[in-house]
Amino acid sequence: MIKRNQGDLQDQKVTGYQSVLGVTQTQTVRLPGIRTQSGHEFAHVDIAYQTLGKLSPARDNAILVCHALSGNAHLAGLHPETGRPGWWDYHVGPGKAIDTDKFFVICSNVLGGCNGTTGPASPNPSTGKTYGMSFPSVTIRDMVAVQARLLEHLGIEKLFAVTGGSMGGMQALVWAVERPDQVRVCVPIATCTSHTAMQIAFNEIGRCAILTDPNWNTGNYTDTCRPEHGLAVARMVGHVTYLSEFSMTHKFGRNRQSATEEMFSVESYLHHQGQSFVKRFDPNSYLYITKALDDFDLFAGQPAAEVLSKVHARFLVVSFESDWLYPPAQSRELVRQLKRTSVPVTYINLETEYGHDSFLINNPPFSNLVRHYLDNEYHRE
Amino acid sequence: MIKRNQGDLQDQKVTGYQSVLGVTQTQTVRLPGIRTQSGHEFAHVDIAYQTLGKLSPARDNAILVCHALSGNAHLAGLHPETGRPGWWDYHVGPGKAIDTDKFFVICSNVLGGCNGTTGPASPNPSTGKTYGMSFPSVTIRDMVAVQARLLEHLGIEKLFAVTGGSMGGMQALVWAVERPDQVRVCVPIATCTSHTAMQIAFNEIGRCAILTDPNWNTGNYTDTCRPEHGLAVARMVGHVTYLSEFSMTHKFGRNRQSATEEMFSVESYLHHQGQSFVKRFDPNSYLYITKALDDFDLFAGQPAAEVLSKVHARFLVVSFESDWLYPPAQSRELVRQLKRTSVPVTYINLETEYGHDSFLINNPPFSNLVRHYLDNEYHRE
């Protein structure tokens, strides 16, 4: 049982957290744009990214880590300004699941995001004004196309591995399917090949909360008048779906705040999560990215076997027993489809009790699993 | 598998629905008030209620049905104005689970509600203005105290049975515990003795959506400017938690609306549910009633065995395998506590796939179970 360091590092009150990596930098590069699936031509895209570790002389040790809905390029180490650890600091660093002593690790903020990569809050070069809702719709495939631009820029022709949890796992799947010659190993975690009605429903509730906040103003809000209430409610919905009944009971039970007996601890926790999130996330980005999640369909109407027959990568698929948002059944279905197509796949369903967040928390069984798998794969011929 | 008539009857588009009961009436009576647990003295309370069937000469065949969060006194039959069926029409009527040929069935709107019984939208007799947030906090025990007033008025000293699902089940439990001599049989369905952190969390999200809607106006909204967006989001959250992944996949999958390919069917379904709900429900009532749910604790710090040792009723406890909002584990815990205290209890966990809503939908195994149990109990010495 994991007793400490539960929860996503990004919004927790992390007191005295130390990262072996110390302070790490994130940088931004402007690169030639892409044509989105919807047909929009970006003349250029800005990409915020972080790299950790060293690229081997053979350039064969690069691992691309793809972030989830609320993530960003700050993968691990401490942020130079805020001092906050990166979202996967538990699992990325020397000797960790993604071992920066061995691998050259890259993480970039997704297209449509709000942490340095081109997104709805960026200026539209043709008007000089913020895109807002005039930003074109983006897809998981568009996000991958932008990551591919970054890899070209970094001079990496082939990834040793691509991985990510949740939306990050979707991107990893797209890499393996669309760029089969560029991926040796694919590690999708707690993800799926397309959203179910329930997954869409939870996202739609979040979108509705934002869209009906009067401050949203059809996406043309200002810095001083943002739809923060709507975004906070959206984040609260998200947070509950990321946890498990066990983890919430274990963490909060029916405890009340000591000061004011009115409020349950779980209520003030959710308020804190909502408030913390609105400070660091753009409401329009939330709309675009959740839509990309809901619209994602790895097979897009094609037979799975046909799509997967192109794949050259070997797979480690990971799910978590207590994850009810991306339940293990979705991973098992992917594994069945990979096996039917004779793609080499290892599947592990971990018994962790912490729900969808299990890939984000301090979780040694998960960390060991990924570390050993990558190590074995890296040294295999 | 249940293929038709899925979902709560209240918010469904029920086309051509026929009720064996035909049109049924709801009436309102003004009775002496109660002192709430919080210490507020109501000089009187208005109670909206419906009765079906006939009271036996021995006055021994009364069944009180307690409604859930969004329910009301219109239990079964068709509403004289709207033509809509009552919320439990599938299970209440001649030959049904609650057989109106045999039993005298009573259902009343809860204290704090908004369908005829005194609640936040009622006029405060001391000011002449709507209570709004000056309405005192209400508890499940207060709701039961008001129901007890109604039974006095109807001349019923002892109930043959008390039943209800979800919040209705909590009321049934309070009846059995607090008024042991007035209850022969208690049938709590898909309920619990207190909310977990996750159950509180979902309610708190709904409350936040209402409280942060600018139209809420600290509860002093007007008929033309109500916090409808907030209430709709709250209802959408509720609705998703009432369904199961299976039922949502079965009903919607990834289908899109035929007219506009943009929107998934599940999204427009949720919008419809939200919009339909705001027309019939008071936002302040939603705040008060969900708070009563979260604060409910049947044992209130006492040992369960001590509290349950007072009980004279025999129990049928029902849960649904796919109900993840009020999971079977909570019912099993109640059953264990009843058994430890030697209270006669039958426990059935039904394998229905339709989540928490399983008690509201057309569900013959559930209906047969309740009908047979009540029939046997009624004829036992």
Asked whether the beta carbons of residue A209 and residue B233 sit closer than 8 angstroms, the reply is yes
Q: Which residues contact A90 (CB under 8 A, 6 or more apart)?
A: A5, A9, A96, A360, A361, A362, A363, A367
* Per-state percent for chain A, helix, strand, coil, to nearest 5: 40, 20, 45
First to last CA, chain A: 37
Domain membership flag for residue B129: yes
What's CA B272's distance to the chain center, in Å? 21
* Tokens encoding B196: 């977990």
Distances (CA, A) of A173 to A111, A155, A307, A318: 17, 22, 11, 13
Sheet with B159-165: list strands edge to edge.
B27-32, B44-52, B104-108, B62-66, B159-165, B183-189, B314-320, B345-350
Alpha-carbon torsion A346, A351, A356, A357, what sign? negative
Indicate if the pLDDT at residue B4 is higher than 80: no
Minimal-distance CA residue of chain A relative to B209: A233
Domain membership flag for residue B279: no
Query: Which amino acid belongs to residue A207?
Result: R
Q: What is the rounded distance in angstroms from the CA atom of residue A115 to the CA atom of residue B142?
A: 50
| Alpha helices by DSSP H, chain A | 140-154, 167-178, 197-211, 228-242, 245-251, 265-280, 283-295, 304-308, 328-340, 364-379
Asked whether the beta carbons of residue B198 and residue A240 sit closer than 8 angstroms, the reply is yes
| Predicted local confidence at residue B13, as pLDDT | 53
Q: Does A14 touch chain B (CB under 8 A)?
A: no
Q: How far is A207 from chain B (nearest CA, A)?
A: 10
What's CA B249's distance to the chain center, in Å? 26
Q: What is the rounded distance in angstroms from the CA atom of residue A160 to the CA atom of residue A371?
A: 14
Q: What is the rounded distance in angstroms from the CA atom of residue A95 to the CA atom of residue A371?
A: 8
Q: What is the rounded distance in angstroms from the CA atom of residue A168 to the CA atom of residue A147?
A: 12
Per the structure, how many domains does chain A have?
Answer: 1
- Catalytic-residue membership of B323: yes
Domain membership flag for residue A332: yes
Asked whether the beta carbons of residue B236 and residue A266 sit closer than 8 angstroms, the reply is no
| Predicted local confidence at residue B5, as pLDDT | 41
Residue recorded with tokens 């709430």: B36
Domain membership flag for residue A61: yes
Q: Residue A354 carries which DSSP code?
A: S
Per-residue pLDDT of B42-91, as tens digits, reads 999 999 999 999 999 999 999 999 999 999 999 999 999 999 999 999 99
Distances (CA, A) of A307 to A179, A210, A211, A340: 12, 36, 36, 12
Q: Does B231 touch chain A (CB under 8 A)?
A: no
Q: Does B333 touch chain A (CB under 8 A)?
A: no
Asked whether the beta carbons of residue A270 and residue B212 sit closer than 8 angstroms, the reply is no
CA angle at B27 for the pair B22 and B28, rounded to the nearest 5°: 165
Residue A324 domain boundaries: 27-194+296-379
**Full DSSP string of B239-302:** HHHHS-HHHHHHHTTT-B-SS-TTSBHHHHHHHHHHHHHHHH--HHHHHHHHHHHHH-BSSTTS
Per-residue pLDDT of B295-327, as tens digits, reads 999 999 899 999 999 999 999 999 999 999 999
First to last CA, chain B: 37
Which of A233, A324, A327 comes nearest B205 by C-beta? A233
Minimal-distance CA residue of chain A relative to B234: A205
| Predicted local confidence at residue B258, as pLDDT | 72
Domain membership flag for residue B12: no
Q: How far is B368 from chain A (nearest CA, A)?
A: 30
What's CA A44's distance to the chain center, in Å? 23
The answer to whether A6 and A362 are in contact (CB under 8 A) is: yes
Angle between helices B140-154 and B167-178 (to 10 degrees): 70
The answer to whether B109 and B27 are in contact (CB under 8 A) is: no
Domain membership flag for residue B133: yes
Question: Mean pLDDT, to the nearest integer, of B338-360?
Answer: 97
* Whole-number percent of chain B with pLDDT over 70: 96
Residue recorded with tokens 């790299």: A51
Domain membership flag for residue A161: yes
Q: Which residues contact A141 (CB under 8 A, 6 or more apart)?
A: A37, A174, A178
Residue recorded with tokens 């990050």: A168
CB atoms closer than 10 angstroms to residue B75: 29
The answer to whether B185 and B65 are in contact (CB under 8 A) is: no
Asked whether the beta carbons of residue B204 and residue A270 sit closer than 8 angstroms, the reply is yes
| Predicted local confidence at residue B261, as pLDDT | 72
| Predicted local confidence at residue B3, as pLDDT | 37
Indicate if the pLDDT at residue B356 is higher than 60: yes
- Catalytic-residue membership of B89: no
What's CA B33's distance to the chain center, in Å? 22
Domain membership flag for residue B182: yes
Query: Which amino acid belongs to residue A119?
Result: G
The answer to whether A97 and A65 are in contact (CB under 8 A) is: no
- Judging contacts by C-beta atoms under 8 Å, the chain A residues touching residue B195 are 254
**Full DSSP string of B12-72:** S---S---TT-B---EEEEEE--B-TTS-B-SEEEEEEEEES---TTS--EEEEE--TT--
Choose the mutation target among B192, B194, B198, B231 for the interface with A, i.e. most A CBs under 10 Å.
B198
The residues that bridge with A105 in the sheet, in sequence order, are A52, A63
| Predicted local confidence at residue A3, as pLDDT | 37
Count of all residues that appear for chain B in the document: 381
Q: Does A29 touch chain B (CB under 8 A)?
A: no
Reduced to 3 states, what is the DSSP secondary structure of residue B305? helix
Q: How far is A269 from chain B (nearest CA, A)?
A: 9
* Tokens encoding A100: 């920066």
CATH number of the domain within which A33 lies:
3.40.50.1820
Per-residue pLDDT of B112-132, as tens digits, reads 999 999 999 999 999 999 999
Asked whether the beta carbons of residue A266 and residue B201 sit closer than 8 angstroms, the reply is yes
Count of all residues that appear for chain A in the document: 381
Q: What's the predicted TM-score (pTM) here?
A: 0.95
The answer to whether B71 and B169 are in contact (CB under 8 A) is: no
Q: What is the rounded distance in angstroms from the CA atom of residue A188 to the CA atom of residue A169?
A: 4
**Full DSSP string of B178-235:** H-GGGEEEEEEES--SB--HHHHHHHHHHHHHHHTSGGGGGG--BTTB--HHHHHHHH
Q: What is the rounded distance in angstroms from the CA atom of residue B375 to the CA atom of residue A286?
A: 54
Which of B204, B264, B294 comes nearest A200 by C-beta? B264
Q: Which residues contact B16 (CB under 8 A, 6 or more apart)?
A: none
Per-residue pLDDT of chain A in tens (381 residues, 90 and over written 9): 333 344 567 655 556 789 999 999 999 999 999 999 999 999 999 999 999 999 999 999 999 999 999 999 999 999 999 999 999 999 999 999 999 999 999 999 999 999 999 999 999 999 999 999 999 999 999 999 999 999 999 999 999 999 999 999 999 999 999 999 999 999 999 999 999 999 999 999 999 999 999 999 999 999 999 999 999 999 999 999 999 999 999 999 999 977 667 899 999 999 999 999 999 999 999 999 999 999 999 999 899 999 999 999 999 999 999 999 999 999 999 999 999 999 999 999 999 999 999 999 999 999 999 999 999 999 997
Q: Does A178 touch chain B (CB under 8 A)?
A: no
- Catalytic-residue membership of B265: no
Catalytic residue among A70, A122, A166, A247: A166
Q: Tell me which residue of B167, B188, B215 sits closest to B70, measured CA to CA.
A: B167
Indicate if the pLDDT at residue B10 is higher than 90: no
Q: Does A240 touch chain B (CB under 8 A)?
A: yes
Q: Which pLDDT band, with edges at 50, 70 and 90, does B237 fall under?
A: very high
Q: Which residues contact B278 (CB under 8 A, 6 or more apart)?
A: B226, B228, B231, B232, B235
Minimal-distance CA residue of chain A relative to B248: A197
CB burial readout B154-171, b (16+ within 10 A) else e: eebeebbbbbbbbbbbbb
The residues that bridge with A188 in the sheet, in sequence order, are A164
Per-residue pLDDT of B163-173, as tens digits, reads 999 999 999 99
| Predicted local confidence at residue B47, as pLDDT | 98
Residue recorded with tokens 């729900």: A355
Compute φ and ψ for A91, nearest 5 degrees: -120, 0
